[in-house]
Structures are given as C-alpha cells and as structure tokens.
Structure 1
Amino acid sequence: MPASLSFSLRACCAVAALGAAGFALSGCASMTETVAPAFADPAKYELYDCKQLEAERKALAARTADLQRLMDKAETGAGGAVVSELAYRNDYVAVRGSAQLAEDAWRRNRCRETPPNAPPAATAPQRPDIKPAPKR
C-alpha cells in the first residue's frame, strides 16, 4: 500500500512539473514580439543606404523563413516543442529584432523597393568637367 501511494505521489509531481514547464515556455513564446529588438544592435543600420538596406531586409526575411521552417519541422517530432525552443528560438528572436531595426531604418530613410526589371544605375562622373580615363 505505501509503495502505490509513493508512486502516485511521484506521478502527480511529475505531471505538475511538466505542466509548469509548458506554462513557462508558452509565456516565453508570447513575449517574442516585444523582446526581439533587445537582442539586436540598434545602431547597426544607421549608416546603411537604401540599396544596402534592401539587400539586408531580403536576407533577414529569408533567414526568418528558414528558422520558422526549422522550428515547425522540429515541433512535429517527439518533444519537438522543447527542441524547437532550445535549438532555434534564440536565433529566431535575434533575426526578428534585426529585421525590425532594418525596417525602421528603411522607413526613416524613406527608401523604396527597386523594381525587379530595373536596369542598373549608370555611374556618371559627379562633375561634368571631369572625364573618365580612357580605356587601354
């Protein structure tokens, strides 16, 4: 009789501990949007021009999508939610923070998307009285 009571008590404590861990992890997942900028350098994009910001925004969007796919894939396996949190969440939060700061710099600089079929800008001399050196 005492052995079954001890087993029952241990099982109850284990379920309570798992419930508390799940509750704690779900709380962290909901804080991602507000904490994300804290994991990125706020001055990183201050000196970027629009062309650099456009490339950076595309790279950050691709990295965010990759991490989201990895997290979704990890969550399909046994214990996947824990693996997803431990393996990918910190990188995901840092990339989202960088993306948010890049987006802020994009808006601050009043940048616009480059059309996909736009020809590259011709490099003309800054002063008309200076001519480029002849090619040999």
Structure 2
Amino acid sequence: MTSQRLFDSAAARRAVAAAALIAAALGLSGCAGIGDSALSQAFVDPARYELYDCKQLEAERKSLDTQLAKLDGLMRKAQTGVAGPVVAEVAYRNDYINLKAQSRLAEQTWRDNHCTATPEPPAAAPAATKRAGRGAR
C-alpha cells in the first residue's frame, strides 16, 4: 500500500512540474509577441530623439541596427541549445524588445524630420602603381 502512495505522490509531483513548465512556456510565449506590437513603445521615452538632428539620428539608427543584429544572433545561437528557447527569452528578449522600440522611435523621428541618408563617400582609388620602368631591372 505504501508503494502505491509513493507512486501516486511521485506522479502528482511530475504532473505539477509539467503544469508549471507549461504555464511558464505560455507566459513566455505571451511576452514574445510584444516585441512587434504597439505595446513595445511603452518601453521607450517618446521624447528620446526629439532634440536629435538628422546626423545624430543617422548614427543612432545605424547603432541600433547593429545592436539588434547582434542580439538576434545571440538569440538564434541560444535557441540551438537544450533549453535554448527559454534561455533566449529569459536572457535576451527584454533587451530585444527595448532596442526594437527605440529603433522604431528613431525611424519615426527620422521620417518626421524629413531626413535623408548621407551618401557614402566614393571608394578610394587604388594606390598608384610604381612608376613604370623603375621596378624592372
């Protein structure tokens, strides 16, 4: 009889643990969608880029794009592990949501200020080769 109670107790503990894992997964999946919604703007001060000029906004946009790409790479790398999706959500998702909201605000301010991208400088001409005749001996 005691072995039956022990079995029931172990089964109950496993059921509770499974329910807790499912609840945690559902909770995290609810947060996952916030990065691409209007709710993500709640994480950024709307006046953050108000005093930026176009040159400053251009640098900020590039910086945010670089940071987002780096964070996205870290999240993808984390997802390859055993508990990867959970690690990616817990470790990186809040930063990703914040950066994504900042990026959207910077883009909106860029458009509102009618900014245009600075053209890239032309590529430097290749170094002139040594004078003909001097190199041949």
When the two structures are superposed, what TM-score results if normalisation uses the length of structure 1?
Answer: 0.80
Instruction: Give me the identity figure in percent.
Output: 51
Give the Cα–Cα distance (whole angstroms) in 1 for the partners of residues 27 and 48 of structure 2.
32
* Cα deviation, residue 106, structure 1: 0.4
Instruction: In structure 1, list runs of 5 or more residues that go unmatched.
Output: 119-136
Between 1:38-47 and 1:60-69, the stretch displaced more is 38-47
Quote how far apart the aligned CAs of 1:55 are.
0.9
What amino acid sits opposite 2:65 in the alignment? A
Report the secondary structure of 2:47's partner residue: coil
SS at match of 1:31: helix
Counterpart of 1:45 in structure 2 is: 49
Quote the residue 2:67 is aligned against: 63
* Equivalent residues in 2 for 1:106-117, closer than 5 Å: 106-117=110-121
Q: Which residue of 2 aligns with 1:127?
A: none
One-letter code aligned to 1:25: L
Could you tell me how far apart the structure 2 residues matched to 1:87 and 1:17 are? 20
**Which residue does the alignment assign to 2:95?**
91
Q: Which runs of 5+ in 2 are unaligned?
A: 123-137
Q: CA deviation at 1:85?
A: 1.8
Structure 1 consecutive aligned stretches of length 4 or more whose deviation exceeds 3 Å: none
Choose 1 or 2 for highest CA Rg. 2
Q: Deviations over 1:7-39 (max 9, x none)?
A: 111111111111111111111101222232111
Q: TM-score, normalised by structure 2?
A: 0.80
Question: Following TM superposition, by how much is the alpha carbon of 1:78 offset from its aligned partner in structure 2, in angstroms?
Answer: 2.0
Residues 44 and 102 in structure 2, CA contact (< 8 A), matched pair in contact too: yes
* Aligned pairs, number: 118
1:105 aligns with 2:109: yes
